Amino acid sequence: MGDNPLFFDEWTSLGRTLIVGILAYVALVAILRISGKRTLTKFNAFDLIVTVALGSTLATILLNKEVTLAEGVVALTLLIVLQYVITWLSVRSPWFEHMVKAEPTLLAHQGQFLDDALRRQRVTREEVVAALRSSGMTEISQAATVILETDGSISVIGKSS
């Protein structure tokens, strides 16, 4: 089978994965708790990037024997510190917030689809209708507004009786 066994290499490699996995996970949880609740919220596209990067970094720490636990914890810390800096700056600088945060987009108004906005945001009428159903409505005419939120979700505000 060659030098790279498919199912099992040696007990020390399994032990390393177990020990480093537990320690890296504890370090990640501790860093996230220290950094605060806003570190990984549904706030903007950067949160998705950081979440994926954290997962990738954790997997690399677990599976790549050339990456030490200390190097991995530094990488996790760096990603979280960068995320903290981005959220800190976006709260304090309208210009920076505009650069990193998408604006909500009106997709329908007073029961009428806004086709240009749907096209620009790559949202189909069917997706809007599904959001209407989730809000207990059956027709677009029942909606005062339909908004594509900054996190990609669709909010529906019904017309008042």
Could you give the number of structural domains in the chain?
2
Do residues 43 and 151 make contact, with C-beta atoms less than 8 angstroms apart? Answer: yes
Distance separating alpha carbons of residues 113 and 128, to the nearest angstrom: 9
Q: What is the mean pLDDT of the chain?
A: 87
Residue 3 lies in a domain: no
Per-residue model confidence (pLDDT) at position 1: 47
Residue 79 domain-assigned? yes
Task: Find all residues with CB under 8 Å of 27, minimum gap 6, and list them.
Answer: 69, 73, 76
Q: Is pLDDT at 132 greater than 80 in this prediction?
A: yes
Q: How far apart are CA 84 and CA 74, in angstroms?
A: 15
At 42 the pLDDT is 57
Domain that holds residue 112: 105-158
Q: What is the residue-wise DSSP string for 19-77?
A: HHHHHHHHHHHHHHHHH-TTTTSS-SHHHHHHHHHHHHHHHHHHH-TTS-HHHHHHHHH
For residue 4, being part of any structural domain is answered with no
Residues 22 and 81 both lie in one domain: yes
- Which of 99, 115, 130 is the last residue in one of the domains? 99
The stretch 126-154 carries a mean pLDDT of 93
Are both 141 and 73 inside the same structural domain? no
Residue where one domain finishes, among candidates 99, 120, 142: 99
Residue 79, pLDDT > 80, answer yes
Q: What is the pLDDT of residues 15-29, one digit of tens each?
A: 888 999 899 999 988
85 against 44, higher pLDDT: 85
Do 66 and 126 lie in one domain? The reply is: no
Residue 113 shares a structural domain with residue 34: no
pLDDT over 50 at 31, yes or no: yes
Contacts 24+ apart (CB under 8 A), 59-68: 61/20, 61/21, 61/24, 62/17, 62/20, 62/21, 62/24, 63/17, 65/13, 65/16
- 87 by Cβ neighbours in 10 Å (0-12 / 13-18 / 19+) ranks as buried
- Asked whether residue 128 is assigned to any structural domain, the reply reads yes
Q: Summarize pLDDT for 86-97 with one digit per residue, the tens.
A: 888 988 999 988
